[in-house]
Amino acid sequence: MTPEDLSSALFDIVTARLDGSASITAADVLLERPRNRDHGDWTSNIAMKLAKSLGTNPRAFAAELVPEISAIAGVSKVDVAGPGFINITLDTAAAGEIARSILVAGDSYGHNHQLDGLSVNMEFVSANPTGPLHLGHTRWAALGDAIARVLSASGAEVTTEYYINDAGNQMDNFGASILAAAKGEPTPEKGYPGEYIQQLAAKVLEQVPNLAELPHDEAVGVARDIGYRQQLEEIKTSLESFNVHFDVFFSELSLHETDPETGLSLIDQAAVRLREQGHVYEKDDAVWVKTTDFGDDKDRVLTRGNGITTYFAADAAYYLNKKDRGFTEKIYLLGADHHGYVGRLKALAAAAGDDPDVNISVLIGQLVNLNGAKLSKRAGNIIELDDLVAWVGADALRYWLARYPADSPLSLDGEVLRSRTNDNPVFYVQYAHSRTRSVAKNAAAAGVDRSVFEPSLLSHEAETELLGSLQELPRIVAQSAELREPHRVARYLEEVAGHYHRWYSVCRVLPLGDEPVTDLHRTRLWLNDATGQVIRNGLELLGVSAPDRM
């Protein structure tokens, strides 16, 4: 008896009762875990939802359903309570069966079909390649990667993508900064002052020892190109060490390159396409897109009076490129400092003929600060991602960043992240996992194996609670994917870990002293192992390791 079985059985009963007088979908027949366990294992508010359209009293309607629900295999008790809740209690064996289901499903337990058929482009981080990843990027790296994982686990086809802003003045400023450092000159105006610039300059000089003798513009170009390649490699390495994977690194520069056959760049082509759709006009020597037709608060410039295209033009070309690659949904994960982009991106999607409510999602996250201090790359007081990882560990950092909703302000406290106490929930969860492993190991040594599984024996209150939480993983994952809120997985894991620790303290898997090994011990080993599987699968979705020992 999985929750899905119960849910579909309930759905059939309600549908039959309706007899075509009202239509409902499976999603309407929502089964929930009641907060108060006195209200049973599962509860449904379907009677209250339907009472109005049926013109009947919710309690009366619920009461009519009770006999049929009671007849479902594995259901031991059905009550109508309060304004019309239907509270369902399962018999012990039916509830315990989930432990076996989990172990059969293994690493795929929790995966679901909520988003089957959805093709998603998930863009995040996209930091300028003019310096190392720093604190400001950590949240998007952890969150974006976790979102991609829950989407995939829910059946979506996901491509993770990093947009490299490798065009424009900033790259020249970057090159000029490296050149200045190579020559021992002060950082130029609008340049990058960080210590890493010195190291990049040293790399450039290794490859081009006569850099200082080249004509200035050429030297800037050489410093820029070599520095860029080096910096991008370091960014990729940092992301790997943070367990964040990108399928595609997309170069903005490639949007500017002209096709030798047509003489047009992707940006030019985008302008043509938008013009063909009737959304482009000229004013004050510039070329504009009428994004206000699609809800933007002002029109946007594609080509400036001086003939140079804007960053927005590249955004447009990039969006069209994603559309051409066939993604039904383009997700952008941006910081709150970019929230002004939402309107123009949505308008862009609409102008391109897409549905802005379906084909594009712009997720805005609040910024992170560390011990109250905000950091600026330009100011040179950056805290690099690598330093943070080395300081507190990738697991603690990723878990902390993933356990809060994106729109919740977040501050990092290095001392808490390093602490081995309940201040730092990652250890609470990881410890629970390692405990399941050590119990399993000791069980093997004590001759307890999984040769017998008798779920009706899992009748202790702590086991009921634990089983109840274990069966929720699939719906938690589906919900996290649907809402793009992976923090729900983290909060759920903390709940599972709590139930496990409490179970551990009252229910022994191993026999005491000279006690014989019983079927209860064997069956509990199933439950122990199933718990380990659930925690491992959940942590995997957050990109956090599940150690066997701590």
Q: Does 421 bind RNA (CB under 7 A)?
A: yes
Contact present, 482 and 153 (Cβ < 8 Å): no
Q: Does 423 bind RNA (CB under 7 A)?
A: yes
Pairing between β-strand 280-283 and β-strand 360-365 as defined by DSSP bridges? unpaired
In whole angstroms, the minimum distance from the beta carbon of 467 to RNA comes to 16
Q: Does 435 bind RNA (CB under 7 A)?
A: yes
Q: Does 507 bind RNA (CB under 7 A)?
A: yes
Q: Name the amino acid, one letter, at 520.
A: L
Residues 103, 34: Cα–Cα separation, whole Å: 25
Contact present, 313 and 267 (Cβ < 8 Å): yes
Q: Does 425 bind RNA (CB under 7 A)?
A: yes
Contact present, 88 and 78 (Cβ < 8 Å): yes
In whole angstroms, the minimum distance from the beta carbon of 149 to RNA comes to 18
Instruction: Give the residue with the Cβ less far from RNA, 302 or 389.
Output: 302
Site for RNA in 367-386 (CB under 7 A): 367
Instruction: Give the residue with the Cβ less far from RNA, 48 or 214.
Output: 48
In whole angstroms, the minimum distance from the beta carbon of 438 to RNA comes to 3
Adjacent-strand bridge partners of 282: 287
Contact present, 120 and 331 (Cβ < 8 Å): yes
Site for RNA in 266-325 (CB under 7 A): 283-286, 297-298, 301, 304-306, 308, 310-312
In whole angstroms, the minimum distance from the beta carbon of 83 to RNA comes to 4
- Return the SS3 of 84: coil
Q: Does 434 bind RNA (CB under 7 A)?
A: yes
- Dihedral, CA of residue 351, residue 353, residue 354 and residue 356, to nearest 10: 30
In whole angstroms, the minimum distance from the beta carbon of 211 to RNA comes to 23
Q: Does 463 bind RNA (CB under 7 A)?
A: no
Q: Does 449 bind RNA (CB under 7 A)?
A: no
- Return the SS3 of 1: coil
Site for RNA in 466-485 (CB under 7 A): 479, 482-483, 485
Adjacent-strand bridge partners of 79: 87
Instruction: Give the residue with the Cβ less far from RNA, 127 or 205.
Output: 127
Instruction: Give the residue with the Cβ less far from RNA, 211 or 343.
Output: 343
Q: Does 512 bind RNA (CB under 7 A)?
A: yes
Q: Does 74 bind RNA (CB under 7 A)?
A: no
Q: Does 70 bind RNA (CB under 7 A)?
A: no
Q: Does 408 bind RNA (CB under 7 A)?
A: yes
In whole angstroms, the minimum distance from the beta carbon of 364 to RNA comes to 6
Residues 440, 179: Cα–Cα separation, whole Å: 59
Segment interacting with RNA (CB under 7 A) among 179-187, 233-241, 269-277, 414-422: 414-422
User: Binding RNA by CB under 7 A: which of 127, 320, 389, 443?
Assistant: 443
User: Binding RNA by CB under 7 A: which of 24, 81, 118, 214?
Assistant: 81
| C-alpha angle 90-92-96 in degrees, rounded to nearest 5 | 100
In whole angstroms, the minimum distance from the beta carbon of 532 to RNA comes to 12
CA dihedral (383, 389, 393, 398) positive or negative: positive
Instruction: Give the residue with the Cβ less far from RNA, 205 or 545.
Output: 545
User: Binding RNA by CB under 7 A: which of 7, 45, 265, 359?
Assistant: 45
Tokens 């399993």: give the residue: 440
In whole angstroms, the minimum distance from the beta carbon of 199 to RNA comes to 22
Q: Does 459 bind RNA (CB under 7 A)?
A: no
Q: Does 210 bind RNA (CB under 7 A)?
A: no
In whole angstroms, the minimum distance from the beta carbon of 432 to RNA comes to 8
| Distance set, CA 383 to CA 98, 126, 391 (Å) | 46, 18, 11
User: Binding RNA by CB under 7 A: which of 188, 375, 393, 428?
Assistant: 428
In whole angstroms, the minimum distance from the beta carbon of 210 to RNA comes to 29
Non-local (6+) Cβ contacts of 316 within 8 A are 267, 270, 271, 274, 289, 302, 348, 352
In whole angstroms, the minimum distance from the beta carbon of 69 to RNA comes to 14
In whole angstroms, the minimum distance from the beta carbon of 205 to RNA comes to 26
Contact present, 277 and 291 (Cβ < 8 Å): no
In whole angstroms, the minimum distance from the beta carbon of 345 to RNA comes to 11
In whole angstroms, the minimum distance from the beta carbon of 476 to RNA comes to 9
Q: Does 253 bind RNA (CB under 7 A)?
A: no
User: Binding RNA by CB under 7 A: which of 37, 229, 339, 418?
Assistant: 339
User: Binding RNA by CB under 7 A: which of 491, 517, 518, 540?
Assistant: 491
Contact present, 179 and 220 (Cβ < 8 Å): yes
Compute how many residues bind RNA; rule: CB under 7 A. Answer: 90
Can you give the three-state secondary structure of 398-457, one letter per residue? HHHHHCCCCCCCEEECHHHHHCCCCCCHHHHHHHHHHHHHHHHHHHHHCCCCCCCCCHHH
Site for RNA in 118-177 (CB under 7 A): 128, 165, 167-171
Residues 495, 405: Cα–Cα separation, whole Å: 17
- Dihedral, CA of residue 465, residue 488, residue 36 and residue 3, to nearest 10: -60
User: Binding RNA by CB under 7 A: which of 237, 409, 447, 456?
Assistant: 409
Q: Does 422 bind RNA (CB under 7 A)?
A: yes
Can you give the three-state secondary structure of 199-257, one letter per residue? HHHHHHHHHCCCHHHCCHHHHHHHHHHHHHHHHHHHHHHHHHHCCCCCCEEEECHHHHC
User: Binding RNA by CB under 7 A: which of 74, 221, 380, 498?
Assistant: 498
Q: Does 49 bind RNA (CB under 7 A)?
A: yes
User: Binding RNA by CB under 7 A: which of 9, 13, 72, 87?
Assistant: 87
Residues 520, 409: Cα–Cα separation, whole Å: 47
| Distance set, CA 215 to CA 36, 82, 169, 182 (Å) | 76, 83, 19, 14
Contact present, 79 and 43 (Cβ < 8 Å): no
